[in-house]
Amino acid sequence: MNKKLSFALAGIFAISAIILATEIIAPEEQAIAADTNISLAAITTVTLPSCQWCGKACIRVYPWMACPDIAPPQGYICTEINGKCTSTFGIPTTTTTKQPITTTTTIPTSLPDLTISNITADRITLNIGETTKISATERNIGNKSAGYHNTGIFEDNIETPLSSMEINTIAPGYGAVINANYTCFRAGSHTITVLADFIHRVSTGEVVESNENNNSKTITINCITSPISTTTTAPSTAYIKVISPNGGEQLVGGQTYNITWQSNGVNNVKLAECAETPLLPTKYTCQELSGIPNVGISATLGKLSWYVDPNDPFIPGRVKIKIWDVNNSSIYDQSDNYFNIISFANPKINLVIDPSSIYEGQSTTIIWNVIPIDNISYCRASGGSGDWWGIKAVSGREIIRPIRSRYQDYVLTCIDRDGQSTSASAGVAFLSTTTSNH
């Protein structure tokens, strides 16, 4: 055999070997080999892997491949039929080759996942007016730290949380605890929800998570009325009536006033001041008066001495007083109309001259005082006969000597902290020294 024939036969055998090698490689493997610069000969030396989903493609998945994190077509399965990877709908009824064992590789996503792992309450059944502590644990079960977000505890469908907590970050596997005290005000069952990563009006919150549907957990608190003693008046006759303040009054911060009421068939009561709050989610807000214990005070007192805190958030504003039965919040009453609370009362000046009638050349006494004094910046004297001038204290007395020829009424003007002025005046009558002849 000459050299040319030998080279020709060798070339034919080589081509045949390549053809035989490529016959057992599915079309998708050829494409993969072309994309990854792996020789066909190298692929044929490795046992072919099973057919699996790679994103939405049904192909043989090699260990070095990175499949996209895309769900396969719903209802379809990836299997090997006649040596090829084929997608079929449902479970095939006939198979020409033995199905290989298919393994699914989960591609991990690098996202946090906030969840409420547990929620507990010291007591889940309470009488009206009683309080229980609610605790919940928030955890990050994802594989990336969760950044800044808010977690809150909510009652029923009320938008304002009972308690909320700002959290800067939670690393994977770590958690945070949030607590709230819940007081029963209304009889019935109330759903307490702990919600991680809440932002009003934004359903997905602030943290992008791998699962946005496991951020909450609930617990039910049952509020019941205490059993009524046989010695008390029947519930049908129980009532509370606010007497004062009942509307139209003007109260001043820093002063003390009496709240009065009438009641029947009620043991203990609590009191609150209520105001319209248009800028808050709850348009009408009540704030319990300070100093009243959780069990309330005896309804038979009929009166409470109320110190109006100058730092009260409702000042200045229009307010009502609300009084309710600690054991049955449905028995209550409030002021018929709003009354006003102001920061400081307008000053009132009392100014008198005693005696107010004198002979010319005689002296007399001017006496004054200003109330209230808390809001006064200064007072200034004017008028008179040149004997009443300059800055004056908020109260005092002075000797004055009016002169008829230069006489004017004596005036005291006081300026409050808001720059408003209030004045008062007093006069002197000069007696005549003329005598009649008989």
**pLDDT tens digits for 311-358?**
888 887 899 999 999 999 999 999 999 998 887 767 789 999 999 899
What pLDDT sits at residue 407? 84
**pLDDT tens digits for 364-410?**
999 999 987 777 889 999 998 888 989 999 999 999 989 888 888 99
What pLDDT sits at residue 252? 83
E strand residue ranges, 226-375: 239-244, 250-252, 256-264, 268-276, 284-288, 297-298, 303-307, 317-325, 328-334, 339-342, 348-354, 357-359, 364-371
Average pLDDT over residues 404-433: 86
Q: Taking 50 as the threshold, does the pLDDT of residue 80 lie above it?
A: yes
What pLDDT sits at residue 345? 65
Q: Are 44 and 54 in contact (CB under 8 A)?
A: no
Q: Are 85 and 54 in contact (CB under 8 A)?
A: no
Can you tell me the distance from the alpha carbon of 87 to that of 107, in angstroms, rounded to the nearest whole number? 21
CA proximity to 426, closest of 390, 402, 392: 402
Structure-model confidence comparison of residues 249 and 343, the more confident one: 249
24-58 residues labelled b (16+ CB within 10 A) or e (exposed):
ebbebbeebbeeeeeeeeebbeeebbebbbbeebb
Dihedral angle sign, alpha carbons of residues 59, 64, 65, 69: positive
What pLDDT sits at residue 418? 66
CA proximity to 111, closest of 68, 145, 139: 145
Q: How many C-beta atoms lie closer than 10 Å to residue 301's C-beta?
A: 11
Q: Taking 80 as the threshold, does the pLDDT of residue 96 lie above it?
A: no
Give the CATH number of domain 114-224; options: 3.40.50.2300, 2.40.110.10, 3.40.50.10490, 2.60.40.10. 2.60.40.10
The DSSP line for 57-99 is EEEEPPTT----S-PPPTTEEEEEETTEEEEEES--S--SSPP
Give percent of the chain above pLDDT 70. 79
What pLDDT sits at residue 381? 94
**pLDDT tens digits for 34-73?**
333 433 333 334 457 788 888 878 888 777 777 877 778 8
State if pTM tops 0.85: no
Stretch(es) of the chain classified as CATH 2.60.40.10: 114-224, 235-342, 348-431
Can you tell me the distance from the alpha carbon of 23 to that of 207, in angstroms, rounded to the nearest whole number? 51
320-350 residues labelled b (16+ CB within 10 A) or e (exposed):
bbbbbbbbbbebbbbbeebbbbebbbebebe
- CATH fold of 235-342, please? Immunoglobulin-like (2.60.40)
**pLDDT tens digits for 103-147?**
554 445 689 999 998 899 999 998 988 889 999 999 999 999 988
Can you tell me the distance from the alpha carbon of 180 to that of 164, in angstroms, rounded to the nearest whole number? 9
* Pairing state between β 163-167 and 256-264: unpaired
Give the CATH number of domain 348-431; options: 2.60.40.10, 3.20.20.70, 3.30.950.10, 3.40.33.10. 2.60.40.10
Torsions phi, psi of 22, nearest 5?
Answer: -75, -15
Structure-model confidence comparison of residues 179 and 45, the more confident one: 179
Can you tell me the distance from the alpha carbon of 417 to that of 71, in angstroms, rounded to the nearest whole number? 71
